[in-house]
């Protein structure tokens, strides 16, 4: 597979695009981590709620147990504290749930911030780069086969703009009919250049 064009200017642009794509992905990953950490830090509020609820629950439960030791009225006096301890436990559970929700949100946003740019790069950068590499390699392979020059010349006549064809071969129809070797070489070279494929010096077979 040929990753870069044989044309220096085109190859330089491809290198710049590759560097820009890699830099974009690196920045997206870094930014996603920063945003994820910032959102996850909001979970500290949930941790505070959980700690406060757990502390209240422990304190009220202890007070209820102590009051329960009072003769005759202990259980009646202790029950409100026990109920309040249960409510404090619910508060602690809410704090835990808040932490989990914040962490899930942070993870989802973090993934989205790097995944969406990555998908965009696949569509506008990676797929065209792979398509170019396959085309260049395939064209170069054709050029190395017997009769490859004539096949590439025909491809140039069909696929290349007429202005480009006429610029290298003023009368391509006549050249095709007569089998003009120089014209066929020129047309095949035009197709190779258009594909960005490397070619051997001199006339192709």
Please say whether the beta carbons of 36 and 105 come within 8 A: no
pLDDT at position 68: 56
Per DSSP, helices labelled H in 122-161 are 127-143, 148-159
Q: Output the tens digit of pLDDT for each of the chain's 205 residues.
A: 778 888 888 889 999 999 999 999 999 999 999 999 998 888 777 777 777 767 666 676 665 555 556 555 455 655 665 566 666 667 677 778 888 888 899 999 999 999 999 999 999 999 999 999 999 988 988 888 888 888 999 999 988 999 999 999 999 888 888 888 999 999 999 999 999 887 654 444 4
CA 4 to chain centre: 21
Grouping H, G, I as helix, E, B as strand and the rest as coil, residue 170 is coil
Cα separations in angstroms, 148 against 39, 81, 132, 140, 176: 60, 92, 19, 9, 15
Quote the CA–CA distance of 81 and 45 in Å, as a whole number: 26
Q: What is the CA radius of gyration of the chain?
A: 37
Question: 83-101: string of b/e by CB count within 10 Å (b at 16+)?
Answer: ebbeebbebbeebbebbee
pLDDT at position 108: 92
Indicate left, alpha or beta for 46 from its phi (over 0: left) and psi (-120 to 50: alpha).
alpha
Cα separations in angstroms, 128 against 10, 24, 28, 191, 193: 14, 17, 21, 18, 17
For residue 204, count other CB atoms closer than 10 A to its CB.
Answer: 20
């Amino acid at each position: 597979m040929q990753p870069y064009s044989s044309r220096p200017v085109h190859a330089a642009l491809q290198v710049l695009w590759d560097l820009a794509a890699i830099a974009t992905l690196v920045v997206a990953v870094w930014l996603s981590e920063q945003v994820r950490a910032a959102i996850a830090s909001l979970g500290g509020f949930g941790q505070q709620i959980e700690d406060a609820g757990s502390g209240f629950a422990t304190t009220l439960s202890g007070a209820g147990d102590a009051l329960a030791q009072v003769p005759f009225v202990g259980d009646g006096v202790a029950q409100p504290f026990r109920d309040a301890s249960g409510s404090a436990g619910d508060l602690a559970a809410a704090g835990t749930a808040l932490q989990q929700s914040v962490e899930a949100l942070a993870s989802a946003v973090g993934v989205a911030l790097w995944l969406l740019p990555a998908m965009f790069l696949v569509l506008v950068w990676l797929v065209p780069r792979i398509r170019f590499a396959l085309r260049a390699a395939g064209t170069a392979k054709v050029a190395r086969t017997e009769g490859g020059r004539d096949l590439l010349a025909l491809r140039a006549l069909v696929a290349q703009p007429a202005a480009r064809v006429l610029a290298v071969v003023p009368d391509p129809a006549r050249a095709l009919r007569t089998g003009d070797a120089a014209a066929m070489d020129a047309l095949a070279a035009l197709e190779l250049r258009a594909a960005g494929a490397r070619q051997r010096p001199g006339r192709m077979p």
